[in-house]
Chain A
């Protein structure tokens, strides 16, 4: 995980390491991101549907974060912000390199039996939106 600021390092005193994960929905998919990357949460600046590398969304919230070293801000529109969860690092899994087709997907969090995809917000913003098959255009 790259977000070291969102982790609670407790290895020195034997405590289990934890990380703060911001959970949100894009379409039907539940996703997660390092909460320390998010500067604030706002309403989307423009109403209406959006498309991003994560898919289509009818956003009600916009995640504002720092894009680069210069401190420029970017925003990712999401449907719904579910909240911030403190997650033990042992529950996190890296995505195998062979299966890493999307550069913004960095790992999984197993919420019980359900895996939640963890993404890197700046990479996600930089990634192009995937082409939508004609059979799914109406659905989106």
Chain B
């Protein structure tokens, strides 16, 4: 029987409460402690309802009996309070277990207790629960924020991953383009070098051409001078030929007169008959001489005509040669001026080609450096893309965890 349910049995006066039920033992004398001992034995056997009948005791024993009864009464009260406290603790623990089981922190925590010593504990529990409620609210809010932020992080990470992938593709394409540009720059540099060499050779050829044109002009001047001398000689020859023609005309006239004279002499000889035979023979011989002279002068005239035609042709040729040489000199001067212009242009071209060659060399070096940098950038971008993928995975996992956390937090009702 529990202590708090044990009825209090007030001792009956005049009756020995501690007498054996079977009555085998003789009643104790009034001055003995047997009733007290009986009550104590019952108390030891957890029977707190037994009481000492003081009427059956005398003197101090009666007082001890009464004190014992009071002590037992107080003990019963104490046990009752302990039972109440235990019940309230059990209820509190049950409520805590229920709270933990259901996570419902919204219910009001009962702090009312009859045990003043238990009050602080329940109030402590209430504070803890309130703190937990606050924590749950904050954690719930934080979980929501975390979920939202995780989603944002996931979206940003996905976007970043997409951007990184696109950036990697663009950088890869740029690297390939720069690689092609490097080859093109190398080709351009080689071509520029070839152009510079050709320009240098052209410059040398133009200088040689300038010298050749100078020699050509000198040769033209020499030819013109020679042509003038030839023209003078032809003019002198023409005068000599004219003089010869004049002389031949005189000789021709003399021969013709001689022929005429011989003819008339032959006529006279024929009239003289036999006496004029010798005269006629001389006349015939004279006439034959005159005819020979006329034939010779005719041949000379033909030669003079041929010489006149030849000298005229030579003079015409000399004039044409003179005009041609003068034209050649002018053309040579024009060509010299043109070559000077060409030379200046070729010089500029050669300088420009040299500068271009140098610039293309620098461009090739710079392009190679850019290609190397692009390769490094591509490597870094690849790492960034990989990291971005990992970050996306982590963000996705974080989102999942945030959702999981939110689901867990939803089990706890704070409001």
Contact = CB atoms under 8 A, between A and B. Distances in A.
Contact of B287 (A35, A40, A61, A83): A83
B270 to A, nearest CB: 4
B267 A41 contact: yes
A81 interface: yes
Interface stretch (B225-233, B258-266, B317-325): B258-266
A40 B287 CA distance: 15
Contacts, number: 33
B271 interface: yes
Contacts of A84: 266-267, 269-270, 280
Contacts of B284: 83
A40 B264 contact: yes
B29 interface: no
Contacts of A36: 270-271
Interface residues of B, number: 13
A6 B266 CA distance: 13
A124 interface: no
Interface in B262-291: 263-264, 266-267, 269-271, 273-274, 280, 284, 287
Given A61-B260, A83-B287, A84-B280, A40 B267 contact: yes
Q: Is the interface of A mostly helix, strand, loop or mixed?
A: strand
Nearest to B263: A41
A43 interface: yes
B260 A83 contact: no
A8 B276 CA distance: 13
Contacts of B266: 83-84
A16 interface: no
A20 B270 contact: yes
Nearest to B274: A8
Interface string A1-14: 00001101000000
A38 interface: yes
Minimum-distance CB pairs A-B, first 10: A20-B270, A41-B263, A84-B266, A84-B270, A35-B270, A81-B263, A41-B264, A40-B264, A38-B267, A41-B260
15 contacts: A8-B274, A35-B271, A36-B270, A36-B271, A40-B264, A41-B260, A41-B264, A43-B260, A81-B263, A83-B266, A83-B284, A83-B287, A84-B267, A84-B269, A86-B270
Given A20-B270, A83-B263, 11 more contacts: A5-B271, A8-B274, A35-B267, A35-B270, A38-B267, A41-B264, A61-B263, A81-B263, A83-B284, A84-B270, A86-B270
Interface of A: 5-6, 8, 20, 22, 35-36, 38, 40-43, 61, 81, 83-84, 86
Interface of B: 260, 263-264, 266-267, 269-271, 273-274, 280, 284, 287
